[in-house]
Amino acid sequence: MDNKRRLDGINDLKIFTGNANPDLAKKICEHLSIKLGDAYVGRFPDGEIDIKVNEDVRGSDVFLVQPTCAPVNENLVELLIFIDCLRRASASRITAVLPYYGYARKDRKDEGRVPITAKLAANIITEAGADRVLTVDLHAAQIQGFFDIPVDHLLAFPVISKYFTAMNTEDLVVVTPDVGGIKLARNYSKKLGIKMAIVDKRRIGPEETEVGFVIGDVSGKNVMMIDDLIATGGSIAQAANVLKDRGAKDIYVGTTHPVFCGSAIEKLAAAPIKEIVVTDTIPLGEKVKGLGNKIKVLTISGLLGDAIMRIHRHESVSSLFV
């Protein structure tokens, strides 16, 4: 995108951030060469959320960056209050930029008497006053249909695949740690011109899986294991051990969302993984020190920034992936 086109019509574009991932919001603004919006996002003495926008947003096209990552309930409510604040300040359009969409794993009733929380979260974001949503690598693509407002669904695939392409690793095979990730793994297989394998697993509890067998040849191969997110790290760690048992050489992991909850850091540190490549949809902070040089963080700010500008100018977002 040339600088002239970027500067055209930028006067009414404003980007704000909550407390969930301000560093990512600042990087997006740097990419677009605009100033981050001025707002106070704090707490009252009793812990309730207090927000005040310190600049005029009347008639503006506002993008609010706030992934609903941990602490998910805190960040979700902060998002809702911030949207309400912008709506009451007469913003022309409010786009909720959710690099990570929390509660996405509760997207269906898989047993009796359970909620569909992904749909509930979509409802309350819409009801709060969001006009559209911009998000990255939803855990299930059909969640886009849970919203009654437009959703632009970005893929981190170009960012992560570019990194692995530059590595130029020989005898590389892309592996999905479960059958549900076949489509994602196929994208990498096609882009990098490499073969694909599947690690079969079954879920035996909310935080526990059991790895069965490997479909495909990984013996003597370097492995790139791809998933949309890593939560407890159990599936990835188990899959890495199985792949090593099947004769795999170096094992790399690529994932969009580093949720890293529970004992994930310890499991991943102990697993036979050479490098874990993640994006900055979720801030990592001090907790990743346990992974040492094993972790590599790629920024998704350029992709989000380009999408924001295209939305602002009413241009195609899907063309970013052509």
Helix (H) or strand (E) segment spanning residue 63 = strand 61-65
Same fold, 3-155+301-321 and 157-298: yes
* pLDDT above 90 for 217: yes
How is residue 230 written in tokens?
Answer: 């890593």
The model's pLDDT over 234-271, given as tens digits with 9 standing for 90+, comes to 989 999 999 999 999 999 999 999 999 999 999 999 99
The model's pLDDT over 282-308, given as tens digits with 9 standing for 90+, comes to 999 888 989 999 999 999 999 999 999
| C-alpha dist (Å) from residue 76 to 79, 86, 90 | 5, 16, 22
Question: Which whole number is the average pLDDT over 205-225?
Answer: 82
Question: Which whole number is the average pLDDT over 41-62?
Answer: 97
> What pLDDT does 207 receive?
58
| CATH architecture type of domain 157-298 | 3-Layer(aba) Sandwich (3.40)
Place of tokens 């490549």: 277
Pick the CATH number of 3-155+301-321 from 3.60.20.40, 3.30.160.250, 3.30.460.80, 3.40.50.2020: 3.40.50.2020
* pLDDT above 80 for 44: yes
* pLDDT above 50 for 87: yes
Residue type, 265: I
CA-based nearest residue to 121, from 93, 92, 100, 91:
100
Mean pLDDT of the chain: 93
> What pLDDT does 122 receive?
98
Question: Which whole number is the average pLDDT over 37-46?
Answer: 98
Q: Catalytic positions, please?
A: 201
Whole-angstrom distance, CA of residue 134 vs CA of residue 307 = 8
How does residue 203 score in pLDDT terms, banded at 50, 70 and 90?
low
Whole-angstrom distance, CA of residue 259 vs CA of residue 233 = 9
CA-based nearest residue to 321, from 187, 196, 189:
187
Strand order in the sheet with 132-136: 13-17, 61-65, 93-98, 132-136, 151-154
How does residue 206 score in pLDDT terms, banded at 50, 70 and 90?
low
Question: Which whole number is the average pLDDT over 32-54?
Answer: 97
Question: Which whole number is the average pLDDT over 171-180?
Answer: 92
Residue spans of the domains in the chain: they are 3-155+301-321, 157-298
* pLDDT above 90 for 46: yes
Whole-angstrom distance, CA of residue 170 vs CA of residue 184 = 21
> What pLDDT does 107 receive?
94
The model's pLDDT over 131-145, given as tens digits with 9 standing for 90+, comes to 999 999 999 999 999
> What pLDDT does 185 receive?
94
Distant-in-sequence, close-in-space partners of 151: CB < 8 Å, separation ≥ 6? 132, 133, 134, 135, 144
> What pLDDT does 6 receive?
45
* φ and ψ at residue 125, rounded to 5 degrees: -65, -40
